[in-house]
Amino acid sequence: MRGALLPPQLRAITGTRSGSLAIFIVRRILWMVPILFFVILITFTLMHLAPGSPWDKNGGRQLSDTVVKNLNIRYGLDKPVGTQFLLYVWNVTHFDFGLSYQYQGKTVSTLLLESWPYTATIGVLAFLLIIPVGVGLGVLAALRQNTRVDYITMGFATIAASFPNFVIGALMVVVFSVLAYKATGGNFYLPAAGFAVDDSLIMPVVTLALLPIAYTARLTRASTLDTIRQDFVRTAWAKGLPERLVVIRHVLKNSLIPVVTTLGPTFAFLVTGSVIVETVFAIPGIGRAFVVAIESRDYPMILGTTVLFSLVVAVANLIVDVAYVFIDPRVRLT
C-alpha cells in the first residue's frame, strides 16, 4: 500500500487529494536543485568559453598586464576553471553569490536585491494587464466570430505579435513622449525614462505586455471557439441561461485551461522581455543589470542573474501546474 512505511501523520495525508498535492510540490521543489546545478554548469561553461576577459575594454587604453594579473588574483580568476566552478557552487549552497567584478565592493546579492523590485513591479503590472485584456479580447472575438469586432481584435493581435518590443518601445517614446510634448506644449506627455510609481510606468508596462496580450487573445479565441461548439454549452443555451452565465460558468471554465498552460512561458517571457524594455526606458531593473553584466563579462553577476531567472521561471511553472488542479478537476498530479 502506498505510504505504508510512512509515519502515521504522513500516511494520513498521502491518500488525500491535498496530501498528494503537497508531496507533488515538495518533489518539484527538490527537483529545482539539480535544475539549478545544471543551469549554473551550463552558464559557467558558456561564460568562460565566451572570448575576452572582464578586464578587456572596448577600445582605448587597456589595463596593463601587471594590473590584469593583480585583478585576476583579487577575484580568484588565477585559479583553475574547475576549482573556480566548485568554489562557486560551494558558495551558492551558502547563499553567497560572490562579489561583482564591475561594481566594486558590491555583492551580487546586493545588486540583485537593489534591482529586483523594479523588474518585479513592471512584470506584475504587465501580468495583471495581460490576463484581463488578453482573455477579454479573445472571448470577445470568439463570441463575435467573423464580425468586424473579431477582425479588429485579431488584426490588433497580429500586429502586436509581429513587432519586436524594442521597436514598439521606441515608437511609443516618439509618439507619446516627444510628439505629444511638442503637440501639447508640454501639458501632456509620458516620460521616456526613469522609474516612479506614476505615469512613467505606463509605456514600459504596455510595451512588455503587448506581445503576451496578443498571444493570449489568439489562444483564448481559438479555445473559446472550440468550447462553444461543445454539447454542454448547447445544453446551457437550451436551458435558457443568459449569455453572461453561459460564458462565465460554462465556456470560460473550460476554454481557459490551455490559456493557463501558457502562463508559465508568459512569465518567462516577462522576465526575458525586461532585458529590452528596461534598456529602452532606462529602468534600473534586473534585465538591464543582466545586459550590462554580459557586456562587461561580470561573471558572478551573470551567474547570479541567471540563477534568479531560472528560479523565477521554475516557481512560475510550479504555480501553474498547481493551478491546474483547481481549474480542472480531471487533472491528477503524480
Partner 1 sequence: MHIGVWSRALTFATAGVFLAACGGGGTTGPNLASPDKQILRANNGVEPNSFDPTQQTYTYERAVGVQTYDSLFRAKADGSDVEPVGATGFDVSSDGLTYTFHLRANEKWSDGKPVVASDWVYGWKHFLNPALAAGYVDPFFDQTIKGGSGYGNVDVSSASAVDAFLNGLGLSAPDDHTFVVQLDHPAAYFKWVATLWMAVPLRKDIIEQAAGGAFASTDATKAEAWANNASTIIGNGPYMIKEIASKDHVTLVPNPNYWAPKPHLQQIVYYEIADGNTAYSQYNTGALDMIGVPLADVTVVRGDPKLSKEAILIPTLSQYWISMNTTRAPLDDKNVRMALAKSIDRDKLVNDIEHGNGKSLSTFIPKGMTGYDTSDNAQSFDPAAAKALLAQSGKKDALAKMKLLTRNSTASKTLNQFLADQWSTNLGVNIQLDVIDSKTVTRDIRKGQFDIYGLDGWIGDYPDQQDWFDIFVTGSCHNLNWGCLSDKNYDDLVTKADAESDKTKRLQEYSQAQKLLIDNAVVAFMYQPYEYDLIKPYVQGLTVTTTDDQNLPGDGRYNQAFITQH
**Site for partner 1 (CB under 8 A): which residue of 62, 83, 145, 162?**
62
Query: How far is the CA of 235 from the CAs of 226, 230, 231, 250, 257, in angstroms?
Result: 15, 9, 6, 10, 21
Using the rule CB under 8 A, is 71 a contact of partner 1?
A: yes
CB of 199 to partner 1, least distance (A): 12
**Considering only CA atoms, which of 168, 196, 179, 197 is closest in space to residue 188?**
179
**By CB under 8 A, which span of 142-150, 214-222, 275-283, 321-329 interacts with partner 1?**
275-283
**Considering only CA atoms, which of 285, 264, 265 is closest in space to residue 201?**
285
**Site for partner 1 (CB under 8 A): which residue of 67, 167, 171, 183?**
67
Which cell numbers hold the place of 209?
Answer: 505586455
**Structural contact between residues 122 and 129, judged by C-beta atoms closer than 8 angstroms:** no
Query: Of the two residues 127 and 290, which places its CB atom closer to partner 1 in the complex?
Result: 290
The residues with which 107 forms a beta bridge, in sequence order, are 99
Query: Of the two residues 65 and 231, which places its CB atom closer to partner 1 in the complex?
Result: 65
CB of 292 to partner 1, least distance (A): 8
Q: How far apart are CA 92 and CA 303, in angstroms?
A: 10
Residue 245, number of CB atoms within 10 A of its CB: 12
Which cell numbers hold the place of 88?
Answer: 562557486
Query: Of the two residues 32 and 282, which places its CB atom closer to partner 1 in the complex?
Result: 282
Which cell numbers hold the place of 254?
Answer: 473550460
Q: What are phi and psi of 241, to 5 degrees?
A: -65, 145
**Site for partner 1 (CB under 8 A): which residue of 23, 36, 63, 333?**
63
Query: Of the two residues 57 and 234, which places its CB atom closer to partner 1 in the complex?
Result: 57
Query: Of the two residues 88 and 215, which places its CB atom closer to partner 1 in the complex?
Result: 88
CB of 111 to partner 1, least distance (A): 8
Q: How far apart are CA 116 and CA 171, in angstroms?
A: 26
Site string for partner 1, 139-178 (x = CB under 8 A): -------------------------------x--xx--xx
Q: How far apart are CA 62 and CA 310, in angstroms?
A: 35
Using the rule CB under 8 A, is 87 a contact of partner 1?
A: no
Query: Of the two residues 29 and 171, which places its CB atom closer to partner 1 in the complex?
Result: 171
Q: 187: buried, middle or exposed (CB in 10 Å: 19+, 13-18, 0-12)?
A: exposed
**By CB under 8 A, which span of 25-33, 141-149, 285-293, 317-325 interacts with partner 1?**
285-293
Using the rule CB under 8 A, is 48 a contact of partner 1?
A: no
By CB under 8 A, the count of residues binding partner 1 is 53
**By CB under 8 A, which span of 24-32, 156-164, 185-193, 319-327 interacts with partner 1?**
185-193
Q: Which residues of 194-217 are buried (b: 16+ CB within 10 A; e: fewer)?
A: ebeeeebbebbbbbbbbbbbbbbb
Residues of this chain that interact with partner 1 (CB under 8 A) are 50-53, 56-67, 69-71, 73-74, 99, 102-106, 111, 114-115, 170, 173-174, 177-178, 181-182, 186, 189, 191-195, 279-282, 284, 288-289, 292, 297
